Structure 1
């Protein structure tokens, strides 16, 4: 695949996030999710008000995250298999795009579930219009962590309500566009954009042979989604444990270098995305 500029890849990410945010399957209502997950808890009101992390240990929440990740991966795999059966050459390219939108939609859906489990605020703060700029940066941080992009964990901490509370100050996501962190937002966003482009090609190819394509698409989705979810959960666990350094800021010269085009494979192991996953 020919090299694409960082700016174009970042634009692809924003366009994809904006598009999938409109899909009904993407949104997770924080209160409804927590009510379902902790229906039997005598401390439900505290959980709704302040987050599960105020009631339960980080270790127990991490175990619950594993159950949520496995369940979501199975559902996503089934959905991917169903859409992978569209083998009509006339709609092959369009269906590939739809499948990719579904894939990233499920990723954002899973990211919300994991984030709410570890005490983060409602993501969809833009009402009917979808995601605010601050929320878009949160999504980039979450997806970047799921893909193992360098610097994504730091962005998760910078946009985290829980991390901000642990630091004793509010970490405002919208402020990132005015700081030396913003080049890192674009760098992580470009990694995601490359994955959008790669998966569009992969999904289109699997449409060529309907049944085999469906099996391949569903199987790969299950294999990939589990480690993606575990990566994000591990980052949020580190946030709860205070495993971050709020004193670190990017050197302006280094921040400027991040604006340069990314290497051919910014993450390295993404072609074998199961590496490091559970």
Structure 2
């Protein structure tokens, strides 16, 4: 990626700037943006009749009567799929000369965050979120929401607070209609900056650890793959747990059901 990433005014902390620049480049990579309709049609296609699938796309899975237990099963399948892909890619990246998508960042780190961002979108769509893309791309507001989802995955307290703010308004909107874009409140800028800072700190630690793991090349490959699988699965499950507890993610028959997800 040769294009210079513009850092928004107000983001001065070095960790926040690192996270913003890195994640903007990840979001621009081919395949990272998830087409909501195509994803839901593919995932629901073998489980539900065509009419119900189209209802899920035009509204959301819960409004189409798709229960939380079915959504959990599909979500877990998506998580397993991306953990497997990211782990395989990470092993190859752990060998010197492996794939490098961003010249200044190890390929397994790039793959890790790419799969995390893809999963964030997929889990959001399964749990009732509207399309985050307009004309195949994010706008600033929806891009910020995806970054907040990533923050929730990583256990950032400020991201949890931001998610609560934007989804409270979203819940009220869904009760009346299903918004097609610009749903809920904008992400509070203060919480976005704090979330970016913690993501940047985590990213910085990962980059250091990845470099150490490559001292012995073959062992480094196993370390990279193992670390990816070990960390991507629980953070994806953390996000799924948060999203599944939102009211608009529950079908009428699910209002009294609580799904426990292993940490």
TM bin, normalised by shorter chain, reads 0.7 to 0.9
Q: TM-score, normalised by structure 1?
A: 0.73
In structure 1, which of residues 111, 119, 126 is the aligned counterpart of residue 120 of structure 2?
111
Which residue of the partner structure matches residue 183 of structure 1?
190
Which residue of the partner structure matches residue 193 of structure 1?
200
Q: TM-score, normalised by structure 2?
A: 0.77
Q: Is the aligned partner of 1:163 residue 2:171?
A: yes
In structure 2, C-alpha distance between the alignment counterparts of 1:86 and 1:25, rounded to whole Å = 25
Instruction: Number of aligned residue pairs: give it.
Output: 234
In structure 1, C-alpha distance between the alignment counterparts of 2:170 and 2:183, rounded to whole Å = 13
Instruction: Kindly report which structure 2 residues correspond to 1:27-66, keeping only aligned pairs within 5 A, or say none.
Output: 27-40=33-46, 41-42=48-49, 43-54=52-63, 55-66=65-76
In structure 1, which of residues 67, 74, 88 is the aligned counterpart of residue 84 of structure 2?
74
Deviates most, 206-215 or 61-70: 61-70
Which residue of the partner structure matches residue 17 of structure 2?
11
Instruction: Give the direction of change, closer, same or farther, for the CA distance of 1:126–1:241 in structure 2 (3 Å limit).
Output: closer
Instruction: Kindly report which structure 2 residues correspond to 1:184-263, keeping only aligned pairs within 5 A, or say none.
Output: 184-240=191-247
In structure 2, C-alpha distance between the alignment counterparts of 1:39 and 1:47, rounded to whole Å = 11
TM-superposition CA deviations, 1:128-149 (whole Å, max 9, x none): xx43211221122111111111
Aligned residue for 2:156, secondary structure, equals coil
Aligned residue for 1:232, secondary structure, equals helix
In structure 2, C-alpha distance between the alignment counterparts of 1:38 and 1:174, rounded to whole Å = 26
The 4+ residue runs of structure 1 with deviation greater than 4 A are 93-96, 166-175
Aligned residue for 1:151, secondary structure, equals helix
State the Cα distance separating 1:123 from its structure 2 match: 2.6
TM-superposition CA deviations, 1:4-40 (whole Å, max 9, x none): x972222222211210112113122111111111113
8 Å CA contact 1:13–1:190 kept in 2: the answer is: yes
State the Cα distance separating 1:166 from its structure 2 match: 5.0
> Which runs of no fewer than 5 residues in structure 2 stay unpaired?
1-10, 251-260
State the Cα distance separating 1:51 from its structure 2 match: 1.6
In structure 1, C-alpha distance between the alignment counterparts of 2:184 and 2:246, rounded to whole Å = 19
Deviates most, 219-228 or 53-62: 53-62
In structure 2, C-alpha distance between the alignment counterparts of 1:17 and 1:74, rounded to whole Å = 22
Aligned residue for 2:106, secondary structure, equals helix
Aligned residue for 1:187, secondary structure, equals helix
